[in-house]
Structure 1
Amino acid sequence: MKKLIGKVSTVLMFLAGVVSYGQTEKCELSLMAYIPEQTDGLYSGASGQLMTKLKSFIMASGLGSSDDYAQFAITPEFNVVEKNILPGPPRSFVLDLEMTLFVGDAFGQKVFASTTVPLKGVGESETKAYINAFKKLNPKNKEVAAFIDEAKKKIIAYYDSNYTTIIKKAETQANQKNFEEAMFLLMAIPDCSKGYDAGMKSAEKVYQLYVDHTCMENFNKAKAAWNSQQDAYGAHEAGQYLIDIFPESKCYSAAIALQREMKAKVKEDLDFEIKVYNDAVSLEQQRIEAWKAVGTAFAKRKGDTYVILRR
């Protein structure tokens, strides 16, 4: 295996999204589409075409897409089998390629499945030759569909066998106040895995620790800002901390009381709102989305050390 490391700028440039799919009707599994940085200029003009085709493979497999970071990624690697330049006019580039697709653990450096697809492209430039090669990719390719299905099964099997270890690791991280990493690990457990219910119970506990910890930090900062300057400016400064307090946290009522105190003192509408639940949306749904958001924040920061293994 050889490592391919892309920096966060590359992730942001070439990340087309995260796809979720189910083994059964109730099975959500996230897969991040990622094109690693190349040194030969390949993706400067051809990345869009390639990502469109990768999405078409995903959609043909019955998957949906979103924009979050994920534990797992589908990523391509190329081998130029033969390159010829035909004299013109116009001059033409002829490329015979092998594209290998991998599904791997983006942060755990493990490959679950791979498949190789032969490609050929002709164009007036090397980039156009790549683009024309990508255009020939068939979203109904049976080998790619089987490859994605194989990866899905192996990922679920991985969680079935390792969820207790994952939960212990997450709880250790939470005890060290690495709450975001803990939530990332727990929210990656698919709902069709044997460990899903145990993971969600742990996530509920970890999230409560997280919101209580951040609440006290932000409330104390808000209180200090307001006590130092009890006017519109002080209220604005305090508000920047209060908006990061969650409704489930133990000091939420104290944050609301401070907001009312500031409003009564300043006697004008404040330019911030403390988080509240949307009554039109399921409370459970809002809580799970909040849990996912905490883990996503960790993944975004982790992007600058993003690693995919090759084999």
Structure 2
Amino acid sequence: MKSCFLLAVCVVLTFASPIFAQQTPVTQEQDVKIPISVVSGNDTTSFGRLLATRLQQAVSKTGMSEYESYNFVLFPKINILSQDLTSSAPTLTVVNLEMTLIVANGYQSKSIIFNSETFSLKGVGKSQERAMLEAARSLRADNPRLQAFIDKSRQAIVRYFAANCEAIISEAQLMGRQALLAINKGPINDKAITAETQFSWAIGLLYNIRSANYSCYQSSIEKINQILNQYDDFSCQLYLGRARNHWAAREVDKTVAYLNKIPPSQKCRAGVDELLRQMDGYQERMTDKDLKEEVRVLREREKAGKDMLELVMDGQKKETSDMRDARRQETIINVLGPPTPPNRN
């Protein structure tokens, strides 16, 4: 079912405002897992899909993996070293590939590469396509070298966030301030895209900290709360208005998508509750079971015991395919740089 926005994108503490009254206590010894997504670029071939599946399986074997979330990414870069035909009958195609795996942070204005390593793949088939598929099949998810690479990548992420905790928090604060400046320069609808992007980056950084270095997250909770409260103000101003507009047109899926992006705070609680009451009677005529369940969950989420950051990330992960594609493209460009213009000579 279609749901909206970013960002696309999971995660508990005590907060100052009433929204933060419910919490899930966590000790510093908590086993923090770092979720990694596989980004396969624009390769929609059978080879690209199979390779992405094998890599996702490998990531899952060493810890958590995520789908369509671009906070930490594993990106395969493929070079065809050689492609030859055998002299024997029947003629077969032999391909030798160089696969460079890159683990980086995704969906930010800049990207940091935490680890990279090159692997060799070989495939033989009746055609180039079949040979490429066989090369992808030769990559086993339990390959010891691949597993070691993913483990080392997670360790590198932890070390980076431990060493740069204060700088990363400051960067997230700056993004929050830039978002507020974008809003204050004009009508919120005119500046919404810029502010939305800045908040998305800031919240992504906070989620990265939460995943990679929980002690940093704990020690910076007051500053983190300030950013989340700024996002709360922004989302109440923008998303409640959009939800009302979509509800007026009885576009229930889009209405729910925007309500999902509003934290369950007191700042616009009355407006959200009123809109949900209007939707209650309409649910009886809804045929989409998934959508009806989403509306029910939306009403119950305040009781879930999640913290602000987790709720915001849950809302941002409900995106349209166009928005996910845009995020993927930005991640690819951030990790590998802009595409090389075609040679016109």
Relative to the length of structure 1, the TM-score reads: 0.71
Q: 2:300 aligns with which of 277, 280, 285?
A: 277
**C-alpha distance in 1 between matches for 2:250 and 2:41:** 42
Please name the residue that 1:37 is paired with: 42
Q: Which has the higher contact order (CA 8 A, sep 6+)?
A: 2
Q: 1:184 aligns with which of 188, 193, 204?
A: 204
CA spacing shift, 1:165–1:243, aligned 2, 3 Å? same
- What value does the CA root-mean-square deviation take over the aligned residues? 3.9
| Structure with more of its chain in strand, by fraction | 1
Q: 1:136 aligns with which of 131, 138, 154?
A: 138
Equivalent pair of 2:76/2:101 in contact (CA under 8 Å): yes
Q: Which of these two proteins has the greater Rg computed from alpha carbons?
A: 1
SS of equivalent residue, structure 1 residue 66: coil
* Alpha-carbon shift at residue 132 of structure 1 (Å): 1.0
* Alpha-carbon shift at residue 101 of structure 1 (Å): 1.5
CA spacing shift, 1:187–1:294, aligned 2, 3 Å? farther
Unaligned 5+ runs, structure 2: 1-7, 10-28, 180-197, 284-291, 338-345
- Given residue 66 of structure 1, which amino acid in structure 2 is its aligned partner? E
Equivalent pair of 1:26/1:191 in contact (CA under 8 Å): no
Equivalent pair of 1:75/1:102 in contact (CA under 8 Å): yes
CA spacing shift, 1:293–1:282, aligned 2, 3 Å? closer
CA spacing shift, 1:179–1:277, aligned 2, 3 Å? farther
- Given residue 209 of structure 2, which amino acid in structure 1 is its aligned partner? I
Please name the residue that 1:156 is paired with: 158
| Structure with more of its chain in helix, by fraction | 2
- Given residue 228 of structure 2, which amino acid in structure 1 is its aligned partner? Y
**C-alpha distance in 2 between matches for 1:76 and 1:56:** 14
Please name the residue that 1:81 is paired with: 81
Please name the residue that 1:197 is paired with: 218
Matched, 1:206 2:208: no
Equivalent pair of 2:172/2:202 in contact (CA under 8 Å): yes
SS of equivalent residue, structure 1 residue 119: strand
- Given residue 251 of structure 1, which amino acid in structure 2 is its aligned partner? C
Identity %: 22
Equivalent pair of 2:104/2:115 in contact (CA under 8 Å): yes
Equivalent pair of 2:84/2:94 in contact (CA under 8 Å): yes
**C-alpha distance in 1 between matches for 2:232 and 2:144:** 46
Equivalent pair of 2:259/2:272 in contact (CA under 8 Å): no
**C-alpha distance in 2 between matches for 1:170 and 1:302:** 19
* Alpha-carbon shift at residue 187 of structure 1 (Å): 0.9
Equivalent pair of 1:95/1:129 in contact (CA under 8 Å): yes
CA spacing shift, 1:47–1:235, aligned 2, 3 Å? closer
CA spacing shift, 1:294–1:139, aligned 2, 3 Å? same
**C-alpha distance in 1 between matches for 2:119 and 2:243:** 57
SS of equivalent residue, structure 1 residue 29: coil
* Total equivalences in the alignment: 271
Please name the residue that 1:47 is paired with: 48
Give runs of aligned pairs for residues 1-311 of structure 1, distance below 5 A. Answer: 26-37=31-42, 44-61=45-62, 63-87=63-87, 89-106=89-106, 107=108, 108-177=110-179, 178-191=198-211, 193=213, 194-217=215-238, 240=255, 243=259, 245-256=262-273, 269-270=281-282, 275-278=298-301, 282-284=304-306, 287-293=308-314, 296=317, 300=324, 301-306=326-331, 307=333, 308-309=335-336
Deviations for 1:31-85, whole angstroms, at most 9, x for unmatched residues? 12012336xxxx5221222122212322332x23332412221122233333211
CA spacing shift, 1:89–1:309, aligned 2, 3 Å? same
**C-alpha distance in 2 between matches for 1:162 and 1:76:** 27
**C-alpha distance in 2 between matches for 1:291 and 1:57:** 28
